[in-house]
Each structure stands twice: as structure tokens, then as C-alpha cells.
Structure 1
Amino acid sequence: MGGTTVSTREQAARIGGELVALRRELHADPEVGLDLPRTQRRILAALAGLGLEITTGAGTTSVVAVLRGAAPGPTVLLRGDMDALPVAEATGLPYAATNGAMHACGHDLHVAGLVGAARLLAARRAELSGAVLFMFQPGEEGHGGARVMIEEGALDAAGAPPVAAYGVHVGADLPYGVFTTRPGTLMAGYSVLDVTVRGRGGHGSRPYQALDPVPVAAEIITALQSYVTRRFDVFDPVVVTVGQVTAGSAPNVIPETAGLRAGVRAFSAPTAERLAVELPRLAHHIAAGHGLTAEIGYDPGLPVTVNDEAAAARYAATATRLFGADRYRPLPNPRTASEDFSLVLERIPGSYGFLGAAPPDAADRPVEANHSPRALFDDSVLPDQAALLAELALGHLLGTGGGAPGHRP
């Protein structure tokens, strides 16, 4: 290993205990959504004294911190999300949250790992040619936090657009200490289809005198599943999940309306665009075929998370160089979850990847995935998470292959 690699890992290991302490403090006091004042205060305290240019958000409690090197050069963005989920924790950990929320997706590790990267890079400011933009983002869990930060100018905080953007997401069900990513599509895009079938209510004993919206809504639900399997390429898959169905107030009353909400996931932009047109049209036509109407909303939500090929190769090479070939595995297929870092990667070429944080005894018991109230993350991975983020930035700012990893038209 070269001197830089050893130095970064050794420095990260030295601050590992402090990163774990920060993570557990965040874990015990989670906040949900865009307004995370206590989390923001802890981040600001952890960054104090590093000589960073700090900006906080107006529409959200975001934190943007810029580290300027000793010489001019490109800017690299590193991102960590801050928010928790409205999940009551059931891990039994001594630092478990008790306020009805939980860092069940590992964002407490993302914050601590990004703070660690800031500390590692600040210690090497004199060597840097360029700047690092640290993006601490609230509201990733369905609250549009990345969009708010982008609209507020977070990506321009260093004065020039970043040439590359990186992030690491921990997984409670992924092998401990193993990094992974892939070029191209990494995660699905996510949209929400909202359908209200409007009929005419009546007595349950005389459906012919009413226009019953319930069987029409049921037909739409079934048709959605058939449609995506028959009209879309199996090698460019679509996942539709109807997660909410609402209708009626009594078993002997035909209601006026029946509603359904479906999560729609796609792995390419053209397919996502087709879905936005064709699924609402399908619901409209089914309702009309029964003499009813359908009020339809379609929220395009999040785009597909797409890694720049050169940036993904840099992520893989850096992880392998730092930790050895056994600590990096290419991800064979995209993951079906979604991520609003996709909004950053639409504008800046970069790479997102994963780090396994399953506890060492995971093989001896059922493993709970992210978002479970029993999800467990081994926070001893934090020094390695911080080291990888720091080295990804250093690769651009030390003259070792710096500049943009790829061109995005």
C-alpha cells in the first residue's frame, strides 16, 4: 500500500471512537423530515474548528460546508443524509431511540461518516488543490430534501459546480465491511400513482341502482399488474405495488368513492416516462368502461439513480486499493429501492455505493434489513466509510487523476 492509503486509514482509525460516539448520540435522538434542529446542532458542533465555510438551509435544516485547499482546483461533493424514519425502535440497544422515530436506514452512520471525512480532509488542507463540498441533507425519506437543497443553491456553494459527487449508503443486511457499486443504473426511480374512482353510492342490497366504485378499483389494481408484465420489456423491469386501498364505511353501503395509491418503480428514464402516461390512461379507461370516472394524480417523485461509469470505476478502484480485493464486490443488478441522491447525479457525474454493516453474528440469526424496527448496524465500519469518502475526494484534489470522472451532456 502507498503512503496516502495507509495514512488515511490510520487517521480514520484514530478518530473511530469519536465517530461511533457521535453516531450513537444521533441514533438515540432521531428526527424525521426536513426540520431536524437537534441533528443540525450536533453536526455544526462536530465540524467546529475545522475551518470550513458553513451555510445552513432556509427551507430545511441542511448544512453545507466547504473546505478550500491551499491551491485552486476542482470541487468534489460528498453527501450524507440526516433524517430518521417514523418507526418505533425495537432493537433493545442501550442507546435505542424512545421517541417513536428511528434511524432505521442508517443515516446516523452517514452523518458520522461524512463528519469523519471532513476531519480527515481538513487535516490535509495544505495538500489540496481545489475544494470539498460536504452536503448534510435532511428529508431523504420521502420529503424532497435534496430537491430543496438544490433549489437553494447548495451545489454552487463552493463557487464552481462540482466535477464529481460521491456518497456511501450502509446496509444492515449487507456483508460486514464490503463495499459495492455498479456503473449505470444503481437504484430505481420512484413515482406514486394516486387514483380515486368516483361512482354513485347506494344500498348494498341494490347495486344496480348505484355505480359501485369498489369492484372498479379492484379491477384497476389487477390490471396494473397485468399491464406492466405485458407491455414492458422484462429486461427493463417495472415494479408496481399498490400499498394503500380505501373505500366505504359499512359492509351494507356502496360508497361514493374508492381510492388506491401505488408505488411505481422503473430502472430507465424512458420507461419512467411511459409509465407516467400509460398507467393513468389505463385507470381512466377502466373506470369509463364501467360508466364511472377516475380522478388521477401521478407524482414523478425521484428519477433513476444513475452512476457515471468513470466515477463508479473510481469508487471500485479506491475501495479495492484501500481495503483489498476481498472488501469490494461489484453489484450485479440495480437495487429496487430509490434514493434522492439521484437528483444530484442528474446534475453532477458521480457514484453512489453501499457498505455492508451487518453485525458479525448476522449469519447466526435472521437479518433485518434497513427500515425494519429491529435493523442493526455495526458502527465499527465508520472509520472505513470516512476513509473511502476522503480518498475519493483526494483522488481529484491531489493531482492523481483529478478532474471530472466523465462527461454528462
Structure 2
Amino acid sequence: MNGLLEDARSLELDRLRHDVHDHPETGLHLPRTQQAVLGALDGLGLELRTGTALTSVVGVVSGARPGPTVLLRADLDALPFPDGPRHACGHDQHAAMLVGAAHLLAARRDRFAGDVLLMFQPGEEGHDGARLMLEEGLLDTTGSRPVAAYALHSSASAPAGQFSNTAGPALAANGTLTVTFHGAGGHGAWPHRARDPIPAVAELVTALSAVPARRFDPFDPVVLTVGSVHAGTRPNIVPAQARIEATLRALSDDTLARLAAVAERIAHGIGAAHDLEVRAEYTAGYPATVNDGAEADLVGAAVADLFGAERFLRGGRPALVSDDIGRVLAEIPGVMTGLGACPPGRDPATAPGNHAPDAAFDDSVLPDGAALLAEVALRRLAAADPAAG
């Protein structure tokens, strides 16, 4: 449509993707990644600015006439692994696809009214980069708050080229619960002279594992996973304290808050039963990502027109992973759409998923993603432009 896909295929987006992939950076400060993005946007005549609290890039592609604003987002950061950072979540692909969309839109600026706001975001992996970009005035960049926001997310374990989204809750809200039991240490030969926190921790882990199935509606799912347990130094020493750390997830912010309250109440009850002091600390993470139904439909129609209806899967199950795009979608309607990128030779049913050390992504989907981002921006601007009718 409008030559978007053909033009996208001519951009050699895999070169940028591999440049970013080969030089992974984590967290909020990605100086080399930022320079790679700025270099790839150079010469397009965009209004560009960079962040102060993080190395973000914000770009504006302005159309031929004034009009509304549409936001397109890509995250940029890699994941930390014990042997060093690596791009195992597809963010390098996201960067390349959004750069590709910028090139496609800049070449068509005479065909639309309004602005396309490009959000290149560090710090998605647990650093809340979206919140910082919002605090730095992202949504006011053009003087007109965006009417819609769109993002793509590559999946290493979905068929290459398959687009998918769902209306309503799509990704989970999350938080972290840390519980520390304080007792009294002693010698393992005389446990009755100590106040041992280890049995309490064991009881707490078992009790928390039953919470999702026994305290919450299965049609409003929650996850409570204890991922870290710390206690003791020697087999014959009763430690003075023990600690667990757990991730809590739900498809609504209200349900997550209730889950946290239940978990804290259980921790305090078990601590009291064991005559221990209890310190329970809950830290809220990202809000739920809630897709707007009309924007999800717009993406589905664009996929069907560009690639064929068989390339779009609508109404899949929500996932209990989290993404700070939820902060943007809490402010303006929009949608996160998945893009399968399982490489040749791997079976999507068994391929390592995102965040696995051996996750891999097929670069053949890069032009498709760039073309779709450009197309949905053009469609949404046209829908809001009276002159387009």
C-alpha cells in the first residue's frame, strides 16, 4: 500500500539492528545506542531532542499541514546476564523498525496532516524509562497531545511475520514483595534457645503459592512467584533473619493491589505465629498495559491490507509479563501489537522465548514492522483529518 513495504525493504534495517545488537547497553543510559539512532535519523529533516534523565531520543515527523499527533514507540535497552548484557528481548529490532518507519513517513510528509511523534526509550527492562520520558514532557512535544499510540514487540517464539493483539488488558501490572523475618540466632544443637526464621520462610513460600488458586478468581488471573530466598551461612547455625523476594502480577492495577495486601497479611500472620518480627515491603512496578479496542482494530485492518488477513491474530490471551508502555496507554488510547520473529530452523512451539539466553530473532520481519508502524500512523492521522474525507 502506497509502496510502503517495497520502500521498507530497501532500507537495509538489519544493519542498524545488528549494530545495536552487537553493542548492547542496559538501563537508562545507552550513549552508544542513542548515537546509533541519531545517526540513522540524520538527514531526514526531523525535529529531534534527547533526554536529560535518560538517553532517550524524541523525534517529530511533521506533515504538510497542521493536524493531530500520533505516537510511535520503540524501547532500546538490552538485558543484563551474568556474562554481560545482550539483546534477548528484541529491543534492537524495535529500534530498527521505528527508524524505518521514520524514513517512510519522512518521504511521505506531503501526504498527511499532523505530526508523528517518535519515542525511542531506554530503560524498559525494570527502569521505568517511559515514566521518565513522560515526566520530561514527551506528550507535549508537538503542542498537541497524541490522539493514539502504537508499539510493536518482537517475539522469539511466535511464527515469523505473524502480527497479534487483543483489546483490553494485554500485559500485566507488576510489583515486588520483600519479606524479612527477624528472629534470634543460635546453635543448631539448641534450636529451642533461638527463634528460627527458616521454618517461617518455608511456611510462607508454601502459603503464598496457594494464594492465586484459592484467593483469586481464575478469570481475573494473578501470579505470585517467589524467586529469591536468603537465609543462613552454615548448616549448624540458626540464622537471625531470613528473607524472600517475590514478583506479583495481575491484569489490573486494583487486583494487583489486593494481591499485595493478601500476601503481606499472610506474611505478618506467619511471623506472629513463629514469634518473629516481620518487615514486609511492597514496591509497585509497571501498570497494566490495556489496549484500546478501536486502535487494535485499526492495526488489524492495516495488517490485512498490507500483508493479508491471515497474517493477523486477534484476541489472543493476555500475557502476565509487563512493559512500561502501559504508562503511555494509561494517558492516551493505543495498542501494543506482537510481531512473531522466530528464525528459520526453530519451531515456535519449542523455541527459546524472549529473555532466554539463547533467544534469537528473524531479521526478515524488520521491513514488515516498519511498514506497519508507518501505515497505522498514516491511517490514524487521516481518520482525524477532516480534509482527508
Q: TM-score range by the shorter chain?
A: over 0.9
Aligned twin of 2:281? 297
Asked whether the equivalents of residues 276 and 300 of structure 1 are also in contact (C-alpha less than 8 Å), the reply is no
1:195 is matched with which residue: 148, 169, 179?
A: 179
2:220 partner letter: D
Asked whether the equivalents of residues 68 and 130 of structure 1 are also in contact (C-alpha less than 8 Å), the reply is yes
Aligned twin of 1:9? 5
CA distance in 1, matches of 2:348, 2:69: 44
Aligned twin of 2:254? 270
Aligned twin of 1:356? 340
**TM-score normalized by the length of structure 2:** 0.96
1:42 partner letter: A
CA distance in 1, matches of 2:173, 2:254: 11
CA distance in 2, matches of 1:400, 1:137: 27
Q: Report the Cα offset of residue 257 of structure 1.
A: 0.6
Asked whether the equivalents of residues 174 and 284 of structure 2 are also in contact (C-alpha less than 8 Å), the reply is yes
Aligned twin of 1:21? 15
Q: Report the Cα offset of residue 323 of structure 1.
A: 0.6
Aligned twin of 1:56? 50
CA distance in 2, matches of 1:135, 1:331: 26
2:162 is matched with which residue: 178, 182, 195?
A: 178
Aligned twin of 2:211? 227
Asked whether the equivalents of residues 318 and 388 of structure 1 are also in contact (C-alpha less than 8 Å), the reply is yes
| Paired-residue identity, % | 52
Q: Report the Cα offset of residue 227 of structure 1.
A: 2.2
CA distance in 1, matches of 2:144, 2:14: 33
Q: Secondary structure at the match of 1:160?
A: coil
1:30 aligns with 2:11: no
String of CA shifts for 1:186-213, please: whole Å, max 9, x gaps: 1111111111111111111111111101
Asked whether the equivalents of residues 320 and 328 of structure 1 are also in contact (C-alpha less than 8 Å), the reply is yes
Aligned twin of 2:65? 71
1:54 partner letter: L
1:231 partner letter: R
**Residues 94-109 of structure 1: matches in 2 within 5 Å?**
100-109=84-93
Aligned twin of 2:79? 85
1:40 aligns with 2:34: yes
Worse-matched range after superposition: 261-270 or 380-389: 261-270
Q: Report the Cα offset of residue 102 of structure 1.
A: 0.7
Name the CA shift for 1:377/1:196 in 2 (closer, same or farther; >3 Å). Answer: same
**Residues 218-367 of structure 1: matches in 2 within 5 Å?**
218-363=202-347, 366-367=350-351
String of CA shifts for 1:306-341, please: whole Å, max 9, x gaps: 001111111111111111011111242101211110
Asked whether the equivalents of residues 395 and 402 of structure 1 are also in contact (C-alpha less than 8 Å), the reply is no
Which of structure 1's runs of 4+ aligned residues deviate more than 2 A? Answer: 363-366, 399-403
Asked whether the equivalents of residues 73 and 120 of structure 2 are also in contact (C-alpha less than 8 Å), the reply is yes
CA distance in 1, matches of 2:309, 2:39: 36
Asked whether the equivalents of residues 75 and 160 of structure 1 are also in contact (C-alpha less than 8 Å), the reply is yes
Q: Report the Cα offset of residue 55 of structure 1.
A: 1.1
Aligned twin of 1:204? 188
Q: Report the Cα offset of residue 401 of structure 1.
A: 5.7
CA distance in 1, matches of 2:383, 2:308: 19
Aligned twin of 1:127? 111
Asked whether the equivalents of residues 195 and 276 of structure 2 are also in contact (C-alpha less than 8 Å), the reply is yes
Q: Secondary structure at the match of 1:357?
A: strand
Asked whether the equivalents of residues 158 and 348 of structure 2 are also in contact (C-alpha less than 8 Å), the reply is no
Asked whether the equivalents of residues 201 and 211 of structure 1 are also in contact (C-alpha less than 8 Å), the reply is yes
2:24 partner letter: P
Unpaired runs of 5+ residues, structure 2, are none
Q: Report the Cα offset of residue 276 of structure 1.
A: 2.7
Q: Report the Cα offset of residue 402 of structure 1.
A: 5.6
RMSD of aligned residue pairs (Cα, Å) = 1.5
Aligned twin of 1:110? 94
Worse-matched range after superposition: 212-221 or 326-335: 326-335
CA distance in 2, matches of 1:318, 1:156: 27
CA distance in 2, matches of 1:366, 1:291: 47
1:151 aligns with 2:135: yes
Asked whether the equivalents of residues 87 and 104 of structure 1 are also in contact (C-alpha less than 8 Å), the reply is no
1:24 partner letter: H
Q: Secondary structure at the match of 1:101?
A: coil
Q: Secondary structure at the match of 2:361?
A: coil
2:302 partner letter: T
Q: Report the Cα offset of residue 364 of structure 1.
A: 9.4
Asked whether the equivalents of residues 9 and 387 of structure 1 are also in contact (C-alpha less than 8 Å), the reply is yes
Asked whether the equivalents of residues 74 and 396 of structure 1 are also in contact (C-alpha less than 8 Å), the reply is no
Name the CA shift for 1:245/1:364 in 2 (closer, same or farther; >3 Å). Answer: closer
